[in-house]
Structure 1
Amino acid sequence: MSHPDDLDCNRSPNEHFQTVLARTLQNPARRHVLRGGLGLAALSSVPFLTACGNDDPAPTPAEAPLALGFAAVGKSIADEVVLPAGYTYSVLHATGDRLRSSVTAYSNLGTETDDWSDRIGDHHDGMEFFYIDAIGRYSATATNRAVLAVNHESSADAHFFHERGQTSGGTSGKKFTQFGNWDLGARPTLEVLKEINHHGVSIVEVQHGPSGWRYVVDSIYNRRITAQTPMRFGGPSGHLNDIRAFMVTRYDTTGATSRGTLNNCGTGYTPWGTLLTCEENWAFYFNMPKGSNPVDAKTVTSRSRYGVRSAPLADAATTDVGQGWYTPDAVDSRFARWNISAAGGSAADDFRNEPNTFGFVVEIDPLSGAQPVKRVAMGRFAHEAAVCGLPVAGQPLAFYMGCDSQNEYVYKFVSRAVWDPADIGGGLTAGDKYLNDGDLYVAKFNDDGTGAWLLLDISVPAISGYSVYAFANQADVWINARHAADAVGATKMDRPEWGAVNPKNGEIYITMTNNSSRQPGNTDAANPRSYNDVDGLMRAGNVNGHIVRFRENGSLSTATAFGWDVFLFGAEEDAGPDINLSGLSAQNAFSSPDGLWFSKATGICWIQTDDGAYTDEVNCMLVAAVPGEVGDGSTITVNNSRTGSTPATGTQETFIGAALGDAKLRRFLVGPKGCEITGITETADGKTLFVNVQHPGENTPALGAASDFTYQSQWPGNAGYGPLGRPRSATLVITRTDGGVIGV
């Protein structure tokens, strides 16, 4: 789904690698290297890459090549979930379902009078599955009890939570726009509380019985983490005072703690058994009312790089972008915190620093009530996911992260501590050990199929001497990581979103969802396409997105160099060879890859879409792919063109993985109308797959004079789950009717 943070906030002068490529192609020796001498088809001969899979022994019978075992699902624009023959699904839970029996059953009419802190949140997104042992602790092996932790991304369609839609300033029945365009005026307190508490994470116990997996109402593990939950900041002990100086607010004048987590999108699963939830599109919830006092110039520079408001509303304004959460009561800090003007004499008197408290990876112990921790050293940006590389005893851990906005970057955090399997089950204490202290890097993708990790540290001259933003210390570098990445010259990417690690060889995959600002003249090898959509939706740029994969030098988490290629390009099957570079067919064509996840049981790479370019032909989907390895394909030339662009045409060389064809790439699921398919996990035996359906009916028209909505979707009510009417996000439980392993 598009948000303001998806838009381009990167005004840095970092060159695109089209410029580098042009220089390279003028050099005959380097041109030979690019075209064949060291194209990715030959990278297996490069010493630093052979350790990452090419030296594996020949497959044994137990390691037979992966083969997909289902018939591809065709295109569908029906308001239903479509699966292959031999598969079935049920709904585990949906928006508004209760965690405790003391809360009323969900009406689906918007008439609830509780604040939603004991209900399942909205916009189901990333999720992780944690087994419980016989005495209630985390189990690294399978049992018939677990907790499922589900992220909740947004309240952009929060009109469904209220009887007559969102209201403001006494205006009833006004549906906000997708970005929350609202009439100025105080909003009703209960409406705002419902919206605040729809964000965060829902943690529920699930149990396996004769009817499969079901969630348990009133479990001691059931818990909501919301935008109001107290949290602490974690970082190296020597930098804590500097970190806290950025976090001082009226709520905590020491800066040691804050409240809540927002727009939780992708997730991560730590080797010790905790949840990493990632704060993505958090910037637009903050506002500065008309007549507000301005903030200082450095704060303005910091905010502008993140899309946070830094100037008061214009006096003549009658509407504004945002949710209006600051309007119900200026005294009550639950609402005043969203007003980020310099209202007092210092930061301790107001909430000017409140935006600094969001944009982090948050660690949660799903089996305890321990206070969540925001891991500052992992950087502050629009986090999409945080996936751990394959852990090796005695070596540091590496976590890979995308910043989900156009022309943003791919990051890596490397722990200072080395992995000790004895820390499994260690909860947040283990998290303090591995995630508080380490090195933060940003990726530079070179035009020859290699890449470099650039250190984000105050000791780097490009950072300490950066003219756009004056970094005070290392805490400032972490908190303003986007500025630091600009300073060192990272590669601008096409909306880097979820990451996933191939459990077979440790290679890392990152989705590049799309980029409407990509022009033919500023493509580069890692982001090589810019074109007009051919199906009449009139979108331009990198319309359909792609997936980049890379492997570290020597398979080391601490590597500062890597090799890469493009695993797959999204496209419509009839788009022509200059756009449909991966040779997709009607059975596997996809657009805008977003969620990404590898099954440890089967090795299938699962791709989920969040699309607006192909939805005239097919709703968002889940695609199964058989992964290869970096360098298994070839070097290709991409011929870009866009009507009215300058220049009108452009070519770009890049590196593409081996074609998969229908045998190795198949559409597995198509969702209902208006949805995004996102969030996926499985049981250890691979026989149950959990998949999230987010915001079905997203484009339902606004409430008008009529007494009801005109629904784009009515799922899952129309599938027999809960009251029919308003659409709801939900978690699916998918199984094979014969009880077998999913996908094979």
Structure 2
Amino acid sequence: LLVMNHEYINQGALHPNGPTAAAGNGGVRPEDEVRKEIAAHGVSVVHIKQDSEGTWDVVFGSPFNRRITGGTEMDIRGPVRGNAKLVTKFSPNGTETRGTLNNCSMGPTPWGTYLAAEENWHGYFANSDANQPREQTRHGVNDSSRYDWELADSGADAYVRFDVTPGGGDATSDYRNEANTYGYMVEIDPFTPEAKPQKRTALGRFGHEGVIFAPATEGKPVVCYSGDDARFEYIYKFVSAQPYSAATAGGYLLDEGTLYVAKFNDDGTGEWLPLSLDDADFAAKVTAANGTMVGDINFDGFADQADVLLNTRLAADIAGATPMDRPEWGAVDPNSGEVYFTLTNNSLRTEDQTDAANPQAENRTGHIIRWTEANSDHAATSFDWDIFVFGGEQGTETVVDGEAVVTLDDDNIFNSPDGLWFDYNGRLWIQTDGSDAAPYQNNMMLAANPVTREIKRFFVGPVGCEVTGVVTTPDVKTMFVNIQHPDANWPFGTEGDHPRDATVIVTRNDGGVIGA
């Protein structure tokens, strides 16, 4: 089963004549265009099969083929389930919602399900009220939305829910809390088509880029990592309260546990700071911050742990986490257990804001950071870190102990590392989503040796694209790579056709292992 996210849409490619703007259409958008755009978001499960000649194709009519969209009904699970701040007209008890949006990276669970990440969900909602709650302001919800879905001309409930401006009644009469049902990791069971997707709130609410699980060990907690893809945001880790058992493991393991946020010290050590009111140090910081300005928010405390998770970014601010240069994908080395994260870029970081983990002011080319958990235990609360590689033009060096361990040249220059994945043989695959100006040109995928730090360019994508998402068959002889928002009518190459996102299948001419 090939499962993939559909992060966002290219309106010009989706509609034959382009989208109808509300501004020139009496302040409304045609319902059918909005319906189509919502349906184009979400996740696809596609049953594929390879024939005797090596050709892959879709198994049409398979019961596994399905779409999870921006309108699919979903359950809220974990500590935030039933909270008053999730009450809506659709779900008066705050236990359900509709849809998942802006799904970026993903994470396969140890029990064989799929987690889709809700990243820039905030842009889909509009709130024209002068006083917005912190659950919206800390994420950037404003008085207009990206696609104006709330302005569908039918006025149907499925569309007006994207207007989160409070009405005259209580929360059961409008959608003031609809945005609070987004910003989570969403668990989907590809092998059970009738299964309802689950939003796992214990993993925090923020701009999830994706999630990566540490190898699951019988009798030990489940551990997973997630980055918040925005400038000066954080890296998180979740440790389950219950131990893993292969015989019974399931999504319930993600509903109880401790969410931590990373602090990278300048001496190469790090700490995992718990975001739990049951932790004395965090509770003391919350008490001390009460009545003060935390960033742009006049902080007045947390009502309970559900409130902490609803406001994960704010909780991390108070805990004292290290603001990072847009943490995106993570990967765990299957051989060493080291954890890698891409820090894509941050052009807004000033010289005064640099630190050892984010040492570049106006960081436009990004870097990859990695760490080893104390005692090789992924549930540990401390770690040691270093920078694996800096992106940049020819001659860019990554220096360790006074020696350049990587020097980029014509064959491996890159910028803005984004996608990251270890294959079954321990190769690290790096995908980029950055500037296509000289000397970098198109975005690309590279392969890296985590031990020697040797990096080689594997392929270059089409003009205008982001290279995003990679997986191989278990024998590492077939690779699936996604190409997002290409230009120049790719892959058709004929004038007048719209460009299309696509999954590219890579094999070797000799039938061997990819990257060998």
When normalised by structure 2's length, the TM-score is 0.93
Structure 2 counterpart of 1:284:
123
Which aligned pairs between 1:229-308 and structure 2 lie closer than 5 A? 229-236=72-79, 240-241=81-82, 244-288=83-127, 294-295=130-131, 299-308=132-141
**Using the alignment, how far apart are the partners of 1:724 and 1:603 within structure 2?**
43
Structure 2: gaps (5+ residues) = 291-297
Structure 1 counterpart of 2:372:
551
**Using the alignment, how far apart are the partners of 1:331 and 1:254 within structure 2?**
24
Which of 256, 259, 276 is matched with 1:437 structurally? 256
SS in 2 for 1:421: coil
Structure 1 counterpart of 2:177:
353
* Residue identity opposite 1:267 in structure 2: M
Structure 1 counterpart of 2:242:
417
Larger Rg: 1
Which aligned pairs between 1:75-114 and structure 2 lie closer than 5 A? none
> Is the CA contact (8 Å cut-off) linking 1:496 and 1:511 kept in structure 2?
yes
Give per-residue Cα distances to partners, 1:36-56, cap 9 Å, x unaligned: xxxxxxxxxxxxxxxxxxxxx
* Residue identity opposite 1:456 in structure 2: L
> Is the CA contact (8 Å cut-off) linking 1:526 and 1:548 kept in structure 2?
yes
Per the TM alignment, residue 556 of structure 1 is displaced from its structure 2 partner at its CA by 1.3
* Residue identity opposite 1:519 in structure 2: T
> Is the CA contact (8 Å cut-off) linking 1:569 and 1:581 kept in structure 2?
no
Residue 228, structure 1, aligned to residue 71, structure 2: yes
> Is the CA contact (8 Å cut-off) linking 2:209 and 2:329 kept in structure 1?
yes
**Using the alignment, how far apart are the partners of 1:594 and 1:355 within structure 2?**
26
SS in 1 for 2:493: helix
Give per-residue Cα distances to partners, 1:317-374, cap 9 Å, x unaligned: xxx5521100114741111001110123111111010110100000000011200000
Residue 741, structure 1, aligned to residue 516, structure 2: no
> Is the CA contact (8 Å cut-off) linking 1:330 and 1:336 kept in structure 2?
no
SS in 1 for 2:101: coil
Structure 1 counterpart of 2:204:
379
* Residue identity opposite 2:238 in structure 1: F
**Using the alignment, how far apart are the partners of 1:401 and 1:255 within structure 2?**
25
Structure 1 counterpart of 2:458:
668
Residue 679, structure 1, aligned to residue 469, structure 2: yes
SS in 2 for 1:165: coil
* Residue identity opposite 1:716 in structure 2: P
Per the TM alignment, residue 224 of structure 1 is displaced from its structure 2 partner at its CA by 0.3
Q: Which moved more, 1:568-577 or 1:513-522?
A: 568-577
- Alpha carbons of structure 1 residues 615 and 581: separation in structure 2 relative to 1, 3 Å: farther
* Residue identity opposite 2:254 in structure 1: L
Which of 199, 221, 228 is matched with 1:396 structurally? 221
Which aligned pairs between 1:318-717 and structure 2 lie closer than 5 A? 322-329=146-153, 331-368=155-192, 369-423=194-248, 430-432=250-252, 434-459=253-278, 460-467=283-290, 468-469=298-299, 470-530=301-361, 541-574=362-395, 582-600=406-424, 602-612=425-435, 614=437, 617-628=440-451, 660=453, 664-697=454-487, 713-717=488-492
**Using the alignment, how far apart are the partners of 2:43 and 2:438 within structure 1?**
28
Give per-residue Cα distances to partners, 1:226-270, cap 9 Å, x unaligned: 01000001115xx644xx322111111111100010000011011
Per the TM alignment, residue 613 of structure 1 is displaced from its structure 2 partner at its CA by 5.6
SS in 2 for 1:482: helix
**Using the alignment, how far apart are the partners of 1:165 and 1:202 within structure 2?**
24
SS in 2 for 1:202: strand
Per the TM alignment, residue 167 of structure 1 is displaced from its structure 2 partner at its CA by 1.0
Give per-residue Cα distances to partners, 1:49-69, cap 9 Å, x unaligned: xxxxxxxxxxxxxxxxxxxxx
SS in 2 for 1:736: coil
Per the TM alignment, residue 184 of structure 1 is displaced from its structure 2 partner at its CA by 7.2
* Residue identity opposite 1:249 in structure 2: T
SS in 2 for 1:543: coil
> Is the CA contact (8 Å cut-off) linking 2:331 and 2:420 kept in structure 1?
yes
SS in 1 for 2:468: strand
Structure 2 counterpart of 1:649:
none
Per the TM alignment, residue 217 of structure 1 is displaced from its structure 2 partner at its CA by 2.1
Which of 54, 58, 61 is matched with 1:215 structurally? 58
- Alpha carbons of structure 1 residues 577 and 384: separation in structure 2 relative to 1, 3 Å: closer
Per the TM alignment, residue 421 of structure 1 is displaced from its structure 2 partner at its CA by 1.8
SS in 2 for 1:562: strand
**Using the alignment, how far apart are the partners of 1:576 and 1:489 within structure 2?**
30
Per the TM alignment, residue 471 of structure 1 is displaced from its structure 2 partner at its CA by 1.1
Per the TM alignment, residue 696 of structure 1 is displaced from its structure 2 partner at its CA by 0.1
Per the TM alignment, residue 214 of structure 1 is displaced from its structure 2 partner at its CA by 1.6
More RCO (CA 8 Å, sep 6+)? 1
Give per-residue Cα distances to partners, 1:446-494, cap 9 Å, x unaligned: 0000000000012322134433432111001111100000001100000
Per the TM alignment, residue 567 of structure 1 is displaced from its structure 2 partner at its CA by 0.5
- Alpha carbons of structure 1 residues 472 and 329: separation in structure 2 relative to 1, 3 Å: farther
SS in 1 for 2:419: strand
* Residue identity opposite 1:477 in structure 2: V
* Residue identity opposite 1:387 in structure 2: I
When normalised by structure 1's length, the TM-score is 0.65
**Using the alignment, how far apart are the partners of 2:393 and 2:181 within structure 1?**
41
> Is the CA contact (8 Å cut-off) linking 1:456 and 1:463 kept in structure 2?
no
Per the TM alignment, residue 276 of structure 1 is displaced from its structure 2 partner at its CA by 0.7
SS in 1 for 2:133: helix
Give per-residue Cα distances to partners, 1:291-331, cap 9 Å, x unaligned: x5555xxx53331111112xxx5xxxxxx552110011474
Structure 1: gaps (5+ residues) = 1-146, 172-182, 314-319, 531-540, 629-657, 698-712
**Using the alignment, how far apart are the partners of 2:129 and 2:206 within structure 1?**
26
Structure 2 counterpart of 1:206:
48
SS in 1 for 2:211: strand
- Alpha carbons of structure 1 residues 390 and 347: separation in structure 2 relative to 1, 3 Å: same
**Using the alignment, how far apart are the partners of 1:577 and 1:679 within structure 2?**
26
SS in 1 for 2:215: coil
SS in 1 for 2:286: helix
Structure 1 counterpart of 2:293:
none
> Is the CA contact (8 Å cut-off) linking 1:464 and 1:471 kept in structure 2?
no
**Using the alignment, how far apart are the partners of 1:184 and 1:552 within structure 2?**
57
> Is the CA contact (8 Å cut-off) linking 1:572 and 1:614 kept in structure 2?
no
- Alpha carbons of structure 1 residues 688 and 577: separation in structure 2 relative to 1, 3 Å: closer
SS in 2 for 1:717: coil
Per the TM alignment, residue 158 of structure 1 is displaced from its structure 2 partner at its CA by 1.2
Per the TM alignment, residue 543 of structure 1 is displaced from its structure 2 partner at its CA by 0.8
**Using the alignment, how far apart are the partners of 1:300 and 1:613 within structure 2?**
38
